[in-house]
């Protein structure tokens, strides 16, 4: 994944005529914090925070709890964050953190201890004007609240602006939970409008029905009564219904820890994850993990539009194959930027001691998204390049404009 990201970065840098020195700098992170978090039961977990680039503002990016977290992954995701914040015009840099842990194996008390110790180990390096972490895969407002609490105890800061994705009571923003999913739907709408696509009866499949995927589904259904969500999946299985699925019901099912392989309600069919990728739908939403569509399974994907809601869900080789068949891929650094856009709005509210109504948050989110998609689309048209190339070039341009390199 790091190689793939660097390849996209290299070709964007070449187009912009950036020197090798600048490119090397962009591939390197400013700082990498690697440490072990040891719990009182003696178990120890590898933890990371990579601070990639802060030319546009404080480092920004989530913290992921997952057994597969490793330095290369965190480096890649941190790099993508720098590009993402630049792509959507936020005055922020890029970073990412993670702990190699399966949080489902931990008790609530162990999870709290892990979260607090992670924040305690990092506190000198983070803060409202240095690095502002947020949730990512398997981390949520409860975990972030523990981290903020720990940070504030150690530093005396009381702005709550050291982390975003907090609960509303602890200074979180309305709309943050749903923001990544909502941003994705708004980005897709804008793309389809610019592309003059016929959206009547549009069919959609969502691979990965977790926080991001399920909000994508419910918001899509709320905004487009005539579009049809025909398939969704989790890590074990997928559900399919030709007549359309109920996004809200399935979100409740997943929140209650239900597993799709055991779902048997109202005429839905259990299919495999591979089957889902091969469905002839209009829009395939990839909201799981990186490297989901690869050179191997790309041959089975036949859809006009792919939305990258995960970071890097289509490998470079798969991307080339899909693009060659005319598939339009809405790139991750735009499609899933809704989360960090509303994180930025949360940070602004904290610093200004304000609490905005959800309608204002959503309006700001929509205008950031619309602008980013429009800019990316028009530049892609003008240069006859893909949306991914366009997004990377524009992001890199903004990043190096403000750079002291």
CB of 146 to ligand GLU, least distance (A): 17
292 touches ligand GLU (CB under 6 A): no
Q: How far is 275 from 307, CA to CA, in rounded Å? A: 18
Select from 82, 173, 343, 390 the one that contacts ligand GLU (CB under 6 A): 343
Q: What are the residues whose beta carbons fall under 8 Å from the beta carbon of 196, sequence distance 6 or more? A: none
State how far the Cα of 242 lies from the Cα of 84, in Å rounded to an integer: 35
Q: Which residue, 164 or 273, has its beta carbon nearer to ligand GLU?
A: 164
Q: Kindly name the residue from 60, 84, 96, 117 that is annotated as catalytic.
A: 96
Choice from 136, 177, 282, 290 touching ligand GLU (CB under 6 A): 136
The set of residues, in sequence order, having a beta carbon less than 8 Å from that of 363 and lying 6+ positions away, is none
Specify the residue, 6 or 84, whose C-beta has the smaller distance to ligand GLU. 84
Which residue's C-beta sits nearest to ligand GLU? Answer: 62
**Region for 259 from its dihedrals, namely left if φ exceeds 0, alpha if ψ lies in -120 to 50, beta otherwise:** beta
**Structure tokens given for 239:** 């559900």
Q: What single DSSP character describes residue 172?
A: P
Distance from C-alpha of 332 to C-alpha of 323, rounded to nearest angstrom: 15
Strands 283-286 and 228-233: unpaired
Residue 96 appears among annotated catalytic residues: yes
- Region of 60-68, 111-119, 143-151, 259-267 interacting with ligand GLU (CB under 6 A): 60-68
CA torsion sign, 392 to 393 to 394 to 398? positive
Number of residues that bind ligand GLU (CB under 6 A): 11
Subset of residues 317 to 336 that bind ligand GLU, contact rule: CB under 6 A: 336
Q: If binding is defined by CB under 6 A, does position 138 make contact with ligand GLU?
A: no
Q: What is the DSSP letter of 233?
A: E
Q: Closest approach of Cβ 26 to ligand GLU, in Å? A: 19
The DSSP secondary structure of 321-338, one letter per residue, reads HHHHTT-EEE-HHHHTTH
Of the candidate spans 8-16, 41-49, 56-64, 238-246, the one that interacts with ligand GLU by CB under 6 A turns out to be: 56-64
Taking CB under 6 A as the rule, which mask of x and - marks residues 157-176 in contact with ligand GLU? -------x------------
Bridging pattern class, strands 31-38 and 269-271: unpaired
Measured in residues, the chain has a length of 405
Identify which of residues 31 and 262 has a Cβ nearer to ligand GLU in the complex: 31
CB 358 within 8 A of CB 364: no
Which residue from 134, 230, 309, 345 is in contact with ligand GLU, where contact means CB under 6 A? 134
- Does 83 engage in binding with ligand GLU (CB under 6 A)? no
147 binds ligand GLU (CB under 6 A): no
Interface residue list for ligand GLU (CB under 6 A):
60-62, 134, 136, 164, 311, 336, 339-340, 343
Residues involved in catalysis: 96
């Amino acid at each position: 994944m790091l190689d793939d990201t660097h390849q996209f970065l290299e070709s964007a840098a070449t187009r912009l005529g950036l020197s090798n020195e600048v490119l090397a700098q962009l591939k390197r992170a400013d700082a990498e914090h690697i440490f072990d978090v040891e719990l009182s039961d003696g178990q120890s977990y590898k933890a990371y925070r990579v601070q990639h680039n802060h030319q546009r503002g404080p480092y920004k990016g989530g913290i992921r709890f997952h057994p597969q977290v490793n330095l290369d992954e965190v480096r890649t995701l941190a790099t993508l964050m720098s590009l993402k914040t630049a792509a959507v015009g936020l005055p922020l840099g890029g970073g990412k953190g993670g702990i190699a842990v399966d949080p489902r194996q931990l008790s609530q008390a162990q999870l709290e201890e892990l979260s607090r110790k992670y924040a305690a180990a990092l506190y000198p390096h983070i803060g409202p004007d240095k690095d502002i972490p947020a949730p990512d895969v398997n981390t949520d407002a409860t975990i972030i609240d523990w981290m903020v609490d720990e940070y504030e105890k150690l530093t005396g800061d009381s702005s709550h602006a050291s982390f975003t994705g907090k609960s509303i009571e602890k200074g979180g923003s309305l709309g943050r939970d749903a923001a990544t999913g909502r941003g994705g739907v708004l980005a897709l709408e804008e793309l389809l409008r610019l592309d003059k696509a016929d959206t009547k009866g549009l069919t959609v499949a969502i691979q990965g029905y977790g926080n991001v995927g399920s909000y994508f589904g419910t918001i899509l259904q709320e905004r487009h009564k005539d579009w049809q969500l025909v398939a969704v999946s989790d890590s074990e299985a997928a559900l399919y219904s030709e007549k359309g699925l109920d996004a809200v019901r399935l979100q409740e099912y997943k929140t209650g820890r239900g597993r799709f392989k055991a779902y048997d309600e109202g005429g839905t069919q259990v299919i495999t994850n591979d089957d889902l990728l091969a469905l002839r739908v209009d829009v395939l939403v990839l909201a799981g993990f990186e490297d989901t569509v690869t050179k191997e399974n790309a041959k089975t994907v036949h859809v006009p539009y792919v939305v990258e809601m995960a970071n890097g869900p289509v490998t470079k080789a798969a991307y080339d194959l899909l693009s060659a068949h005319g598939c339009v891929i809405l790139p991750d650094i735009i499609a899933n930027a809704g989360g960090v856009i509303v994180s930025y709005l949360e940070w602004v509210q904290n610093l200004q001691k304000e609490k905005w109504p959800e309608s204002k948050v959503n309006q700001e989110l929509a205008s950031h998204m619309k602008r980013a998609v429009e800019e990316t689309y028009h530049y892609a048209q003008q240069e006859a390049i893909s949306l991914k190339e366009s997004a990377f070039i524009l992001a890199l341009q903004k990043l190096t404009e403000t750079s002291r390199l």
